[in-house]
């Protein structure tokens, strides 16, 4: 007999099935709970709630493990290109040589964006945040690239379009924000190098592609490619569950990622390190503030809902940060402050008790700075990296036989039946 959990309420016992994942994680299946008992569950922030079963990414936060389709992220970071990682996440397995070639050809074919889309860019106020622009532009793509005939075509073509065009749109937004000429994608360049060239090439200073920089960017994107049911991915799944088009679902993911508690943390980390530097470089007052319960200040780049051990992505990011800065002969004072801050936090009893460790965003900003990415574009870089994960999760939800429109319930705590009072009597 399969495993069950028993819930006793008002003298009745409800048997709830236990669902077990391939890595031994267990969940109580409450899908019939309300039907049988009239009860719902309440779980702010969905801290204890599994919203789906998924075969894409496995995270073990207690032991610092992250795998895409079963492959440890460390192995992918060492051997896989970002393109292969994207293919793996979306299609469930690594591509063979001919599949990879076909994928590359498609990415190249779809890399241009409609020229009319440039008009939109010029109408955004100059101070607009690139994440707001990107989210709007991705939604706008649907108007330029309407629905295709078959679902298979829709999935394959729209997915490739998005993977390729989001990268182009991101570089375009940077160029236009600087008042510079847009640089078109080049068919002879691979995914990461092509992006760097679109960002930094200029008629007066041709961009020289440095393989160390390409390597760092590849790693950054591979490490960000998926992270199971985080805030933005859940947004993509929830919005997607209304059966909106993929562009709209991804646009909502980008909006969610923008938040400083999520993807926006990479920008917030650099701003925090700059503030520490401006105030003389002493990290201790900041650590003290972070521990003060009456102060809302948090150390950006520390802590994670799932990781209660060192984030495995942060470990790789720290290494690449050191290597890249050394190879490029950059001495970034923010790196010294970051290392000092990390050391201080790791030795602090309060942080140890709270199991707060550096997360992926802590060192990534310093890597992006070294590459030449402006701070307000950091979260856009995260979004490009996370795109394959969002797409894979959306695609998986389409194929899920247990799929349902996402619609959480609530416990109402407002006034009970209240009579309307006409304006003259108020
Ligand atoms: N600095 C100081 N205290 C912290 C921090 C932090 N960065 N993170 C958590 N805490 C404390 C918090 O004050 C609370 O303390 P107490 O129990 O004494 O009240 C305790 O730790 C638990 O915090 P929580 O907010 O309930 O934990 P959570 O799991 O909901 O938080 C988090 C996860 C990422 C929102 C949080 O750690 C945070 O705000 N970190 C800073 C922002 C950041 O770096 N975000 C990037 C996350 S990684 C990239 C991504 O996946 O998006």
* pLDDT tens digits, one per residue of 6-23: 999 999 999 999 999 999
Helices 191-200 and 151-177 pack at an angle, to 10 degrees, of 30
- Mean pLDDT of the chain, nearest integer: 94
Alpha-carbon distance 231 to 256, whole Å? 7
Q: Does residue 102 carry a pLDDT above 60?
A: yes
Structural contact between residues 90 and 391, judged by C-beta atoms closer than 8 angstroms: yes
Where in the chain do CATH 2.20.28.60 domains reside?
4-50
Residue of 110, 224, 304, 311 marked active site? 304
SS3 of residue 235 by DSSP: helix
Q: Does residue 61 carry a pLDDT above 60?
A: yes
Order of strands, edge to edge, in the sheet holding 12-20? 4-9, 12-20, 26-28
CB under 8 Å to 275, separation ≥6 — which residues?
Answer: none
Query: For residue 369, what pLDDT is reported?
Result: 93
343 CA to centre of ligand 1 in angstroms: 18
Query: For residue 179, what pLDDT is reported?
Result: 83
Structural contact between residues 369 and 333, judged by C-beta atoms closer than 8 angstroms: no
Nearest-CA residue for ligand 1 atom 30 is: 305
Query: For residue 149, what pLDDT is reported?
Result: 64
Terminal C-alpha separation, the chain: 63
To test the pocket of ligand 1, the residue of 47, 73, 303, 304 to mutate (highest count of ligand atoms within 8 Å of its CB) is 303
Q: Give pLDDT tens digits for 110-125.
A: 999 999 998 888 888 8
Query: What is the DSSP code string of 284-340?
Result: HHHHHHHH-TT-----TTB--SS-SS--HHHHHHHHHHHHHHHHTT---HHHHHHHH
CA of residue 143 relative to chain centroid, distance: 25
411 CA to centre of ligand 1 in angstroms: 26
Q: Does residue 258 carry a pLDDT above 80?
A: yes
Give burial (CB, 10 Å; 0-12/13-18/19+) of 24. exposed
Active site (annotated) includes residue 354: no
Find the mean pLDDT for residues 238-250. Answer: 94
Strand pairing category for 4-9 and 57-60: unpaired
Structural contact between residues 334 and 366, judged by C-beta atoms closer than 8 angstroms: yes
Query: For residue 155, what pLDDT is reported?
Result: 76
Q: Does residue 312 carry a pLDDT above 90?
A: yes
CA of residue 215 relative to chain centroid, distance: 20
pTM: 0.93
Q: Does residue 322 carry a pLDDT above 60?
A: yes
Where in the chain do CATH 1.10.580.10 domains reside?
73-263+386-398
Structural contact between residues 265 and 87, judged by C-beta atoms closer than 8 angstroms: no
Q: Does residue 232 carry a pLDDT above 70?
A: yes
Residues facing residue 97 across a β-bridge: none
Where in the chain do CATH 1.10.230.10 domains reside?
270-371
Find the mean pLDDT for residues 393-419. Answer: 95
Q: Which of 390, 388, 384 is nearest to 88 (CA)?
A: 388
Weakest mean pLDDT among 33-42, 153-162, 285-294, 399-408: 153-162
Nearest-CA residue for ligand 1 atom 34 is: 304
Which pair of tokens denotes residue 163? 């993977």
Nearest-CA residue for ligand 1 atom 21 is: 354
Alpha-carbon distance 201 to 175, whole Å? 10
352 CA to centre of ligand 1 in angstroms: 13
Find the mean pLDDT for residues 98-114. Answer: 94
Find the mean pLDDT for residues 359-373. Answer: 93
Alpha-carbon distance 299 to 246, whole Å? 35
Cα dihedral across residues 364, 369, 370, 372: positive or negative: positive
Query: For residue 145, what pLDDT is reported?
Result: 86
Fold of 270-371: Cytochrome p450-Terp; domain 2 (1.10.230)
Residue of 262, 361, 399, 400 marked active site? 361
Alpha-carbon distance 305 to 309, whole Å? 11
46 CA to centre of ligand 1 in angstroms: 15
Nearest-CA residue for ligand 1 atom 18 is: 293
Q: Does residue 388 carry a pLDDT above 90?
A: yes
Q: Does residue 151 carry a pLDDT above 90?
A: no
Which pair of tokens denotes residue 196? 């760097």
355 CA to centre of ligand 1 in angstroms: 10
Question: In CATH, what is the architecture of 4-50?
Answer: Single Sheet (2.20)
Nearest-CA residue for ligand 1 atom 29 is: 305
The pocket around ligand 1, CB under 6 angstroms, is made up of: 227, 230, 261-263, 265, 290, 298-305, 354, 356, 359-361
Active site (annotated) includes residue 109: no
Query: For residue 126, what pLDDT is reported?
Result: 81
Fold of 73-263+386-398: Citrate Synthase; domain 1 (1.10.580)
215 CA to centre of ligand 1 in angstroms: 30
């Amino acid at each position: 007999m399969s495993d069950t959990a028993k819930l006793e309420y008002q003298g009745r016992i409800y048997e709830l099935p236990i669902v077990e994942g391939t890595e031994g994680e267990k969940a109580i299946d409450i899908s019939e709970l309300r039907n049988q008992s009239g009860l719902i569950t309440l779980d702010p922030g969905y801290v204890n709630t599994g919203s789906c079963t998924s075969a894409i990414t496995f995270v073990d936060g207690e032991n610092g493990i992250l795998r895409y389709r079963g492959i440890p992220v460390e192995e992918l970071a060492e051997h896989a290109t970002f393109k292969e990682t994207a293919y793996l996440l979306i299609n469930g397995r690594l591509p063979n040589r001919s599949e990879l070639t076909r994928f590359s050809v498609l990415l190249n074919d779809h890399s241009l964006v409609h020229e009319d889309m440039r008009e939109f860019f010029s109408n955004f106020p100059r101070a607009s945040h690139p994440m707001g622009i990107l989210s709007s532009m991705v939604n706008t793509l649907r108007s330029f690239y309407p629905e295709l005939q078959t679902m298979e075509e829709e999935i394959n073509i729209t997915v490739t379009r998005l993977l390729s065009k989001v990268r182009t749109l991101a570089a375009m937004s940077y160029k236009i924000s600087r008042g510079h000429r847009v640089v078109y994608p080049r068919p002879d360049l691979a995914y990461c190098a092509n992006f760097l060239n679109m960002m930094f090439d200029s008629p007066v200073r041709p961009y020289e592609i440095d393989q160390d920089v390409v390597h760092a960017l590849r790693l950054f994107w591979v490490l960000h490619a998926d992270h199971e049911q985080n805030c933005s991915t859940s947004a993509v799944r929830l919005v997607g569950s209304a059966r909106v088009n993929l562009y709209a679902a991804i646009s909502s993911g980008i909006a969610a990622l923008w938040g400083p508690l999520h993807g926006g943390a990479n920008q917030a980390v650099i701003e925090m390190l700059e503030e520490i530097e401006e105030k003389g470089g002493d990290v201790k007052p900041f650590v003290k503030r972070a521990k003060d319960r009456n102060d809302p200040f948090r150390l950006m780049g520390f802590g994670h809902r799932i990781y209660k051990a060192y984030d495995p992505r942060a470990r790789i990011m720290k290494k690449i940060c050191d290597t890249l800065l050394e190879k490029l002969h950059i001495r970034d004072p923010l790196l010294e402050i970051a290392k000092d801050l990390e050391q201080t936090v790791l030795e602090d009893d309060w942080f140890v008790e709270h199991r707060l460790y550096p997360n992926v965003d802590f060192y990534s900003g310093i890597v992006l700075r070294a590459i030449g990415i402006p701070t307000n574009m950091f979260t856009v870089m995260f979004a490009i990296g996370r795109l394959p994960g969002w797409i894979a999760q959306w695609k998986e939800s389409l194929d899920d036989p247990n799929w349902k429109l996402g619609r959480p319930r609530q416990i109402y705590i407002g006034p009970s039946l209240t009579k309307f009072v006409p304006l003259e009597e108020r």
